[in-house]
Amino acid sequence: MAAAGPSVFLLMVNGQVESAQFPEYDDLYCKYCFVYGQDWAPTAGLEEGISQITSKSQDVRQALVWNFPIDVTFKSTNPYGWPQIVLSVYGPDVFGNDVVRGYGVVHVPFSTGRHKRTIPMFVPESTSKLQKFTSWFMGRRPEYTDPKVVAQGEGREVTRVRSQGFITLLFNVVTKDMRKLGYDTGPVDSQGILGPSLP
């Protein structure tokens, strides 16, 4: 009797939210969450997390270093809805209120191996000078009620945003059974590690 082939593939992601560059701000913390399609399900690890508060380094770079670990495994039958990681950075304003300092999103890399990504961050802006002053005075700056909205395209075109800062992520990506299900995961190199497909 022939053994049945796999019906799902696995995507294992670990790494870290390494550091950030926000020249104007200090004492920031980061939240992350994953957004994925309906055919995807987490099987192990954490889908979301919140880091410690970090201060700028005292060197020339003035980096905000978190080294905050990421470790999650997903299963799916379909690559549609490939997971994305949504990042939100928060810190105190002049009144001591926690306000958003940036949102960013990036897909988990499609190819296996070690990947480093630098994600540009952005913040929503008030649409008028009066709203801007009122939000500053009240300590309630514009922010998304659900940060996962940054991973979706719908409705984003009507949101005014401003670029602000960068976050560096490290990913280690491993897949299992994708090739057995007929998905091209790239050629095997001389060391037996799967790499990106060549044109």
Q: For the segment 122-172, what is each residue's pLDDT rounded down to a tens digit?
A: 998 867 676 666 666 666 677 777 888 888 877 666 677 889 999 999 999
Q: What pLDDT score was predicted for residue 193? A: 45
Cβ atoms within 10 Å of 2's Cβ, excluding its own: 4
Residues 6+ apart with CB under 8 A from 126: 132, 135, 142, 160
Report which of residues 51 and 2 the model is more confident about: 51
Q: What pLDDT score was predicted for residue 129? A: 72
Q: What pLDDT score was predicted for residue 184? A: 80
Cβ atoms within 10 Å of 56's Cβ, excluding its own: 18
- How far apart CA 159 and CA 118 sit, in angstroms, is 23
- The dihedral region occupied by 135, where left means phi > 0, alpha psi between -120 and 50, and beta the remainder, is alpha
Q: What pLDDT score was predicted for residue 61? A: 85
Q: Which residues pair with 14 in a beta bridge?
A: 71, 172
- How far apart CA 173 and CA 169 sit, in angstroms, is 12
- How far apart CA 62 and CA 152 sit, in angstroms, is 32
Give the type of residue at 195: G
pLDDT tier for residue 98 given thresholds of 50, 70 and 90 = confident
Nearest-CA neighbor of 16 among 44, 38, 49?
49
**What is the torsion angle, in degrees rounded to the nearest 10, for the CA atoms of residue 124, residue 21, residue 119 and residue 27?**
-60
Residue 70 contacts residue 47 (beta carbons within 8 Å): no
Nearest-CA neighbor of 175 among 9, 29, 21?
9
